[in-house]
Amino acid sequence: QSVLTQPPSVSAAPGQKVTISCSGSSSDIGSNYVSWYQQVPGTAPKLLIYQNSGRPSGVPDRFSGSKSGTSATLGITGLQTGDEADYYCGAWDSSLSAWMFGGGTKLTVL
Amino acid sequence: QLQLQESGPGLVKPSETLSLTCTVSGGSISTSSYYWGWIRQPPGKGLECIGNIYYSGSTYYNPSLKSRVTISVDTSKNQFSLTLGSVTAADTAVYYCARHHSSSFYDYWGQGTLVTVSS
């Protein structure tokens, strides 16, 4: 069972905006950086967001990250069918001394 | 461009030891600020961090797996390895190797290798 809680699924139409939440606690998100990963089925995860809101080179600015208190949010604008994937948040948990991933959120672009 | 490639047996018997190696190319494993890690994903499930290692040999292990896991590094071969002992069917998963920045994110991933635990 993940310490970081994500909604199992979200959906939206092409061109629309969607947000995916990642809820944690003071010992993980509340005191450490959050990163986000995109995993297209059958492929390896890909880093989308690092240090709460940084975007690696090559990641479109349609993807954004934010953090407030013990929660983090991934935003995707201008949805494309190619954005259909599973999305995971990740953070260090200082009390467990463990790296944690969220349970993942399946994005469907209708 | 940094590349990581997992290798090892795809089938392991219950109670035996799982062993995988990750070969890093396009860059040195002896790079400051980066750890090298293993993550696994059971079929149809989410990601689980197994542990990380620094090129100096300093390690971090997931507390839930610590008693069965060893991660080692061979800087001369630009490789790091995973051993997981006393495996059961619950250890069946795709195993990924990845590079972990010290400020906490995994930026480069291998393609993953499926390991099945079955007699």
For tokens 């195993």, the residue is B95
- Contact residues, chain B to chain A, C-beta under 8 Å: 39, 46-49, 52, 60, 62-64, 96, 101, 103-107, 109-112
The answer, for A35 touching chain B at a CB cutoff of 8 Å, is: yes
The first and second tokens of residue A57, run together, are 């080179």
The first and second tokens of residue A66, run together, are 């934010």
Per-residue model confidence as pLDDT tens digits over B15-42: 999 999 999 999 999 989 899 999 999 9
B103/A51 CB distance under 8 A: yes
Cβ proximity of A2 and A100 under 8 Å: yes
pLDDT of residue A97: 84
B104/A97 CB distance under 8 A: no
Percent of chain A at pLDDT exceeding 90 = 90
A103/B103 CB distance under 8 A: no
B112/A51 CB distance under 8 A: no
The first and second tokens of residue A78, run together, are 């201008």
Confidence category of residue A2, pLDDT binned at 50, 70, 90: low
Most B CBs within 10 Å: which of A74, A99, A101, as the mutation test of the B interface? A99
Distance CA A9, CA B32 (A): 38
Cα B79 to chain center, whole Å? 11
Distance CA A67, CA A30 (A): 9
Per-residue model confidence as pLDDT tens digits over B50-71: 999 999 999 989 999 999 999 9
Q: Is the pLDDT of residue A1 over 60?
A: no
Per-residue model confidence as pLDDT tens digits over A24-72: 999 999 999 999 999 999 999 999 999 999 999 999 999 999 999 999 9
